[in-house]
């Protein structure tokens, strides 16, 4: 319903053009666009109820804006000042906080805290709690850190990775593929008082204090295509020990099978003595993972399983007890072993 209205004379042609441009804008705030629609409808003499129904607004909202347009004209399109105290800390303080966190370090501490930032900016009068709110709004978290590694450039990185992945995905005929590495410095610890097992409604409770009984190290070979693992206790992680383990593998694998070894670049794997021994035993073919890419070595997955299922919450009365429990765990693991599902083929990630 439309009719002539005294409200129609409120806008001149330039104002109407401005209102029509604002009403059709796709970038202006929605509230300003809605107000422009209401103003144009009012100028056409449309009833408040019709405007509210057409624009899906509350009738009282239309009435309020019509009243404001009559009293203020185009100024009614803008938001009115909100109630409450005006902002105390303006952009300068926000920038000072950002500059403090991102470009400097505290004089004594290793990281910034809310209190330290507030003290550093004492001339602004800002509090530690307000610093925390501003940092949260800026998504700045000086208390957190994420590690990263600057990897040396290796032009053959993907070629070396592909060589390893091909062996994981396709076993060469008449061969065995073994992933070999050491896990060192595993602590044998026991609690000073017995652990109390879990009960309904109560978690397992473990004494904080413990006794140290030394450390143990192992060398392990994972058969990539069966999932079974061979573990040996070692007292030193050097070339002599590693070569002794290679002799064990050579005798354990049938003589008519080629042994493909996946190794990282540890010193015992690349030493002159190890390379000399391998040169005299051509049945063992070595494939080194790229530098800083030992995660390609599948035996690391077994070590992770060992840590989660045994080492993390296990209790060991002596170094020998730790070694025996690792052996028992490995034997039980081998009874149900399955190869890991490997899908990575070393293809570089490409941007979409």
Tell whether 152 is covered by a domain: no
Tell whether 218 is covered by a domain: yes
Structure tokens at 283: 């049945």
Q: Which of 53, 77, 101 is the last residue of a domain?
A: 77
| 269 burial level (CB within 10 Å; 0-12, 13-18, 19+) | buried
Q: What is the pLDDT of residue 152?
A: 66
Q: What is the pLDDT of residue 43?
A: 83
164 and 243: one domain? Answer: yes
The neighbour count for residue 189, using CB atoms within 10 Å, is 17
The residues, any chain, with a CB within 8 Å of residue 241's CB and separated by 6 or more, are 219, 234, 235, 268
73 and 95: one domain? Answer: no
Helix H or strand E encompassing 182: strand 175-191
Q: What is the pLDDT of residue 349?
A: 58
Q: What is the pLDDT of residue 260?
A: 97
Low-confidence ranges of the chain (pLDDT < 50): 1-4, 9, 351-352
307 and 215: one domain? Answer: yes
Tell me how far the alpha carbon of residue 38 is from its chain's centroid: 49
The answer to whether the CB of 175 falls within 8 A of the CB of 283 is: no
The answer to whether the CB of 284 falls within 8 A of the CB of 251 is: no
213 and 305: one domain? Answer: yes
219 and 323: one domain? Answer: yes
38 and 162: one domain? Answer: no
Interval 34-47: pLDDT, tens: 888 988 888 888 89
Q: What is the pLDDT of residue 197?
A: 87
Interval 250-292: pLDDT, tens: 999 999 999 999 999 999 999 999 999 999 999 999 999 998 8
The answer to whether the CB of 11 falls within 8 A of the CB of 59 is: no
Tell whether 106 is covered by a domain: yes
What dihedral angle (degrees, nearest 10) is formed by the CA atoms of 273, 276, 282, 288?
60
Kindly calculate the radius of gyration of the chain based on its CA atoms and give it in whole angstroms: 36
102 and 71: one domain? Answer: no
The residues, any chain, with a CB within 8 Å of residue 79's CB and separated by 6 or more, are 31
Interval 194-208: pLDDT, tens: 888 888 988 888 888
172 and 257: one domain? Answer: yes
The residues, any chain, with a CB within 8 Å of residue 288's CB and separated by 6 or more, are 160, 263, 264, 265, 269, 270
44 and 191: one domain? Answer: no
Q: What is the pLDDT of residue 315?
A: 92
Q: What is the pLDDT of residue 269?
A: 96
293 and 177: one domain? Answer: yes
Q: What is the pLDDT of residue 248?
A: 96
The neighbour count for residue 185, using CB atoms within 10 Å, is 9
Count the alpha carbons within 13 Å of 135 in the hemisphere toward its beta carbon.
23
37 and 120: one domain? Answer: no
Q: What is the pLDDT of residue 11?
A: 67
The residues, any chain, with a CB within 8 Å of residue 109's CB and separated by 6 or more, are 116
Q: What is the pLDDT of residue 339?
A: 95
**Residue recorded with tokens 């104002």:** 15
User: How many structural domains does the chain have?
Assistant: 3
Q: What range does the domain containing 29 cover?
A: 6-77
227 and 303: one domain? Answer: yes
């Amino acid at each position: 319903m439309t009719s002539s209205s005294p409200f129609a004379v409120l806008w001149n042609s330039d104002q109407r053009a401005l209102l029509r441009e604002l009403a059709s804008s796709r970038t202006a705030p929605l509230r300003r666009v809605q107000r422009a629609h209401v103003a144009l409808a009012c100028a056409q003499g449309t009833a408040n109820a019709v405007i509210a129904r057409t624009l899906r607004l509350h009738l009282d909202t239309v009435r309020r804006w019509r009243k404001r347009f009559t009293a203020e004209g185009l100024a009614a399109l803008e938001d009115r000042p909100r109630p409450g105290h005006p902002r105390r800390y303006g952009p300068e303080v926000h920038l000072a906080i950002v500059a403090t966190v991102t470009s400097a370090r505290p004089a004594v501490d290793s990281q910034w805290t809310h209190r330290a930032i507030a003290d550093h900016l004492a001339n602004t009068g800002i509090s530690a709690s307000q610093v925390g709110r501003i940092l949260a709004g800026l998504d700045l978290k000086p208390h957190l850190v994420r590690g990263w590694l600057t990897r040396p450039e290796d032009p053959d990185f993907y070629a070396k990775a592909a060589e390893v992945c091909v062996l994981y995905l396709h076993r060469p005929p008449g061969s065995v593929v073994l992933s070999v590495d050491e896990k060192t410095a595993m602590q044998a610890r026991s609690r000073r008082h017995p652990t109390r097992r879990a009960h309904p409604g109560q978690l397992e409770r473990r004494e904080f204090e413990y006794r140290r009984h030394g450390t143990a190290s192992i060398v392990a070979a994972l058969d990539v295509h069966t999932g079974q693992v061979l573990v040996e206790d070692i007292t030193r992680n050097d070339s002599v020990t590693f070569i002794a383990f290679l002799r064990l593998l050579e005798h354990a694998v049938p003589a008519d099978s080629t042994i493909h070894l996946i190794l990282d670049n540890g010193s015992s794997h690349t030493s002159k003595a190890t390379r000399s021994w391998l040169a005299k035993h051509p049945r063992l073919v070595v494939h080194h993972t790229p530098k800083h890419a030992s995660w390609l070595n599948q035996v690391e997955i077994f070590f992770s399983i060992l840590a989660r299922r045994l080492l993390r919450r296990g209790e060991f009365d002596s170094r020998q007890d730790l070694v025996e429990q690792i052996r028992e765990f490995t034997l039980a693991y081998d009874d149900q072993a399955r190869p890991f599902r490997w899908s990575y083929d070393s293809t570089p990630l490409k941007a979409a």
